[in-house]
Amino acid sequence: MPSHSNDVSIHVRLYGILREKLPPNGRTVFSLIAGSTVGNVVDRLMITGHVQTAVNGQIKPLDTILTDGDTVEIFRAAAGG
């Protein structure tokens, strides 16, 4: 598939049990259409349930728009109490 000039390349890192979705080390690089969000990455990986997400080391919501070179980290949210 040809890449589009407005594609962005992002790094994805999964932690904990989610690492199983990206063997062997829980890391990959995705090419996404410009304007894609953290939620699009979660959907692409078919991750269900409550997760916490960070972009470039800062906690961000799923509607955060990604830019070229961003690093997205996804992990299960810790239970409180």
At CB < 8 A and 24+ separation, what contacts does 37-44 make?
A: 37/62, 37/63, 37/64, 37/65, 37/66, 38/62, 38/63, 38/64, 38/66, 38/72, 39/63, 41/10, 41/12, 41/66, 41/72, 41/74, 42/74
For residue range 48-71, list pLDDT tens digits in order.
989 999 999 999 999 999 999 999
**C-beta atoms surrounding 46 within 10 Å:** 7
Q: Is the predicted pLDDT of residue 2 greater than 60, yes or no?
A: no
CATH 3.30.499.10 at 7-76, yes or no: no
Query: Rounded to two decimals, what is the model's pTM?
Result: 0.87
